[in-house]
Amino acid sequence: MIDYLKGEITELTPASVTLETHGVGYFISISLNTYSNLTDKKNAQLFIYEAIREDAHQLFGFFDRQERELFLLLISVSGIGAGTGRMILSSMNTQELANVIASGNADMLKTVKGIGLKTAQRVIVDLKDKINVSAIKQTDVFALEHPSGKEAVAALVMLGFSQQASQKAVAKILKDKPGGAVEQIIKAALKIL
């Protein structure tokens, strides 16, 4: 199995990267988080997951080991394939996904395209004990568990802000003023965003 590939980025799109290593160009599927980390770089090292099926050989690349480990956990869940795993990691970064799973927030997981309530619940049940909870920032968990925080994040996402940015803004506001009403949290978050 390939552990990682290191080389020159010859082509980069939000869904894939072509990495040239010793004259061979490897087409690698990536998440949006990896894409963000590769933007403006000429060379990269990607940690690889190699999916070999009868009809295809695919490479999935990750900017760091933690993202790959989370991907491997996701695809171990029944009903989650490599494409869906990549979609989940494109919707949230590794820290946010760990927070969602650790807090049992199936509603947040359902916002990912292609994930229904039953699949979201299965992911949480299967992975809750496997996620390293000690690495999770408590402020983000608090924002996800706080009822006003959940509503505020959902409203900000509907207004067009990214899930990640909305959660960070709401977590910051709730850390300073934990008893705020939803409207106040949204107004304060709009100033930050």
Go through the domains of the chain in sequence order and give each one's CATH number: 1-63 (2.40.50.140), 72-135 (1.10.150.20), 138-192 (1.10.8.10)
- Interval 48-59 mean pLDDT: 92
DSSP character string of 88-102: HHHHS-HHHHHHHHH
Please compute the mean of the pLDDT values over residues 75-84 and round it to a whole number: 91
pLDDT category, 139, cuts 50, 70, 90?
very low
Looking at residues 124-150, what average pLDDT do you find?
64
Residue 91 confidence (pLDDT) above 70: yes
Distance CA 170, CA 168 (A): 6
pTM of the complete model: 0.66
Cβ contacts of 120 within 8 Å, gap of 6 or more: 106, 107, 109, 110
- What integer pLDDT is reported at residue 143 of this predicted model? 52
pLDDT given at position 144: 54
pLDDT band of 186, cuts 50, 70, 90? confident
Q: What is the mean pLDDT of the chain?
A: 85
What's the pLDDT tens digit per position in 21-39?
Answer: 999 999 999 999 899 899 9
More confident residue, 171 or 179: 171
When pLDDT is averaged across residues 27-52 and rounded to a whole number, the result is 93
| Residue 135 reports pLDDT greater than 80 | no
Of 190 and 133, the one with more pLDDT: 190
Average pLDDT over residues 132-146: 50
Q: Is 2 a residue whose pLDDT tops 70?
A: yes
Rounded Cα gap, residues 63 and 1, in angstroms: 17
Q: What percentage of the chain carries pLDDT values higher than 70?
A: 91
Q: Work out whether the CA dihedral 155, 157, 160, 165 comes out positive or negative.
A: positive
* Angle formed at CA 141 by CA 139 and CA 147, multiple of 5 degrees: 100
